[in-house]
Every structure is written in structure tokens, then in C-alpha cells.
């Protein structure tokens, strides 16, 4: 359970560092591992492209080198781009809502693929 002190999460929570709006070291390390696994080549450049320049390649390189950690805006951007899988990788707590969100995201992707395949089958059988 995280505690609050002076309007920011404590370092003990594992969510934010002592600096307001920065990921803690362990969370930042997990974020970097996720990003490297997602973009094994030209990671920093891929992050810049995926975030539409909100996170520059230079900033991403600092994260990858461990000399900086994502700030609040960057973290929110990464969550928006990579969704529940990013959250699950970064957060240390076993959060049930993240697991539910991941299942919902996967189900939506499968349903979309099913609809696409059904349409393709109907097109082939008609023509």
C-alpha cells in the first residue's frame, strides 16, 4: 500500500521517485526493458515515432542509458501508446484491473480479427 506525504507518493511505494512526477528506478528499469523488448532495434528512434515526437529520441536514449527516467507526461504517453501491457510490465503490484484491461484489449483485437476473417470468407464464398 502506498503512502502519501506532501502531495506525492513516497519512495516506498515503488511508483514515483522522490522527484514529483518521475518513475522510480525499479519502475524505470522495467519500462526500459519493455521498450527494448518491444523495439529491439533503434529503440530510441522507434519510441519517438510511436509517440509522435512527444518523447524525443534523445530523451529516450537517456532512459535507455539509465541517466534519466520518464517524467509524468512521458509516462502517460507511454501508457496511452502501449496500453495495459506497458502498465503490467512497469508496475510491481499485482493489479487486477491491469489484468482485466489486458484481457479486454486482447479480446477486442481477437474480435476485430474474427470480423475481418468472417468478411474475407464471405467475400470468397460469394465470388
Q: What is the rounded distance in angstroms from the CA atom of residue 80 to the CA atom of residue 65?
A: 23
* Mean pLDDT calculated for residue range 100-127: 89
Q: 7 exposed, middle or buried (CB, 10 Å; 0-12, 13-18, 19+)? A: exposed
Q: What integer pLDDT is reported at residue 94 of this predicted model?
A: 62
Place of cell 529516450: 60
Q: What integer pLDDT is reported at residue 101 of this predicted model?
A: 74
Q: What integer pLDDT is reported at residue 19 of this predicted model?
A: 56
Q: What is the rounded distance in angstroms from the CA atom of residue 19 to the CA atom of residue 83?
A: 24
Q: pTM to 2 decimals? A: 0.63
**DSSP category for residue 26:** H
Which H or E run contains 100?
A: helix 96-126
Q: What integer pLDDT is reported at residue 43 of this predicted model?
A: 97
Predicted confidence (pLDDT) per residue in 3-62, tens digit: 333 334 334 444 444 455 778 888 899 999 999 999 999 999 999 999 999 999 999 999
Amino acid at each position: 500500500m502506498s503512502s502519501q506525504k506532501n502531495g506525492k507518493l513516497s519512495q516506498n511505494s515503488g511508483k514515483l521517485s522522490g522527484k514529483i512526477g518521475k518513475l522510480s528506478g525499479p519502475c524505470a528499469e522495467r519500462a526500459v526493458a519493455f521498450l527494448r523488448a518491444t523495439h529491439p532495434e533503434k529503440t530510441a528512434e522507434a519510441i519517438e515515432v510511436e509517440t509522435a515526437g512527444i518523447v524525443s529520441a534523445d530523451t529516450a536514449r537517456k532512459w535507455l542509458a539509465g541517466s534519466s527516467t520518464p517524467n509524468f507526461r512521458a509516462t502517460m504517453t507511454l501508457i496511452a501508446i502501449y496500453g495495459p501491457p506497458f502498465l503490467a510490465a512497469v508496475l510491481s503490484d499485482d493489479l487486477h484491473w491491469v489484468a482485466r484491461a489486458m484481457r479486454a484489449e486482447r479480446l477486442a483485437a481477437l474480435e476485430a480479427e474474427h470480423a475481418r476473417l468472417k468478411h474475407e470468407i464471405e467475400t470468397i464464398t460469394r465470388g
